Chains A and B, each alone.
Chain A
Amino acid sequence: MFDTLKSRIFQGQQFIKDIERAPMREQFRGFPKFCGANCNACEKCLDVCPTGALSLYPLTIDMGKCTFCGACKNVCKAGAIDFSNYYKLSATKRESLIITEGVQEADFERTAIEVRAEITSMFSRSLKLRQVSAGGCNGCEMELNACSNANFDMGRFGIDFVASPRHADGIVITGPITENMAYALEDCYKSTPEPKIVILCGACAISGGVFQKSTKLNREFLEKYPIDLYIAGCPVHPLTFINGVLGFIRGKKK
């Protein structure tokens, strides 16, 4: 037992105190940063983008499709495209994830998440989520697991993943929604008691990502049921996820 206590003492404090202002390493590829004036119209970036997230004239990146691989930035010798380490990449409307030049991080943070009174009054202190991987590659799944580890400790905000949809207030979908998972996903949604929310987590869930052209997908679920929150990333960083959900259920700190 003394060894166990010693291990505990050696670890010290590991949790991130202020999750909303947690620093991010500068290398992280997050919010797109454009300098359209530098663009020399070589269009090489369009060829290397694996998901068609990028479009030109004006320079636009759809964060719902973007895998944040940085291929466009690497190929752009003119320096028109970059990514900042800003990690709050969630929105309540699909269109809000489409970023053009001139949309600044601060604007995005202010407008992307629309706070609804019925959500904040119901879930602001406790939100239990059921996660469904529907073709997810285990990238987003590992990051969602990391949300509950000793660093990020999402449980302290009352947000937890639960084992059954019957215990859940909402579902989190990862993966491009394969044909073979379509039934189970809908079943899970129907088993979740009202009121409930649906969160799409990662480029695959939001747009199909690198699998969008696959014939083995069945994304009808997304047309049938309302989606409440889109969280961008490939995979979604734990800080992106926690801040996205917190912003949605609590609104901004005054």
Chain B
Amino acid sequence: MTKIILNGREVEADPKQPLIAACHEHASAVPMYCYHPGLSPVGSCRICQVEVKQGETPARVVVACRTPVVEGMVVNTEAPKAHEARRQCLEFLLKNHPLDCPICDKAGECDLQDYSFAEGQGEGRSVEPRRKLEKRKSLGDVIVLDQERCILCSRCVRFFEEVTKKPQLTVAGLGSRSVISTFADRPLEGNYQGNVADICPVGALTLQSFRFQARVWNLTKAPSTCGECSRGCSITVEVLRRQEVKRLRPRPNPAVNQFWMCDHGRFSFERFNAPGRLAGALLRGRTGLEAIDPADALDEIADLVRMHGAPLVVASPWLTQEEGERLRVLGGANHFLSPAPNTLKDDLLHTGDPCPNRRGLGALGFAPLAPAEALERLRAAPLALLVGERAVELLGAAALATLPSTLRLVVLDTHPLDAPAACIEIGVPDASERTGTWLNLDGHAGTLGIARSAPAGVAPLTRTLDELVRRTRGALAR
């Protein structure tokens, strides 16, 4: 570590990182557009200018993102000269920036807007008309480019060059006619396009699916973990008006996903918004499935366990450690559904394994079971528990409907299942509505966060299982 003097205070700085990293680490709000901690610094936007005095030379204004940390350097981020340099730089960045914040989706989380609000001048001095460029240029299915809003920071260009290692974007044209463009106007491809919308400091690159969907200040945000593969990327779940999940974004986590997440995980949120949730509990009566009190449904399950002995437990791979610990004492044989690896595996983040808690459930004594094999086991069992979100989806509702009605199937899922074998169903919360832990493939614990409340009548699965364990304690005495 190197010692520098930052705003009159002696602090320790990492000599491998540029000066701006030290400024941010020690809570000095130096603005940045082109610098991103996950990308190489280029110093193209010049907004991170600070005053640096080194040795005997007089103090100079330099860009903090391209300045290495040197022992004993004196840095002043709030010097009048630095403020003036940043103000002038900002004026030039805003020279051609359209003032369409009311329309722009980035408004509210835009670095340019925030810094203009903090330090910019109220009125522009420019009398020339602004650049006219393409306002909605589609770059493939995921990203829309607004060339007028772009400040040419080149974060997106560097993202494809340095992170995915497959360059797809470039700065085309010269001078004031420079624009971000794909090579030969080909659409963007790959599983990591969505990240460029996150790292874009302005509203130039936006997600096609999030366009005009919500104002960002109306979104409630909760830190959580992505459940689409066994990597378990740290994410933020963003919910509109406490009901509808609108967006998943990566959360920086150097141990797992750095700053990124894949599009497969990013757009998986739509399953949270599937209608027809199972609220409360259902019991098969004479006329079919009828709503009953969840507590009574638990009594019924306990009766079944007393009658048939320990059930076959087939858990969803989205089961958390906390739920698994409670569930494993219930079953005679514990399994979790393990669908075949998908083809999305790459060498960046996606592991191709759709089970986010494979490692954790394995440690708890759950054996992996392919869906086809699970159906065979279910066919032969007298009593089975199908537990956790999307367990029905993985087995297929149509396949479950063919199971014989000699099987007593108890379903604890988010959505109701219409099958002759299903005799008791209890609604459970999905991954955006509960808390818990998943262990990713490296054994790193990812925590689920509660981003919204579960539908009325749906209790946390841990509580449901606790109740069930309490009720079946006598029947399962070993």
Query: Do A and B belong to a common assembly?
Result: no
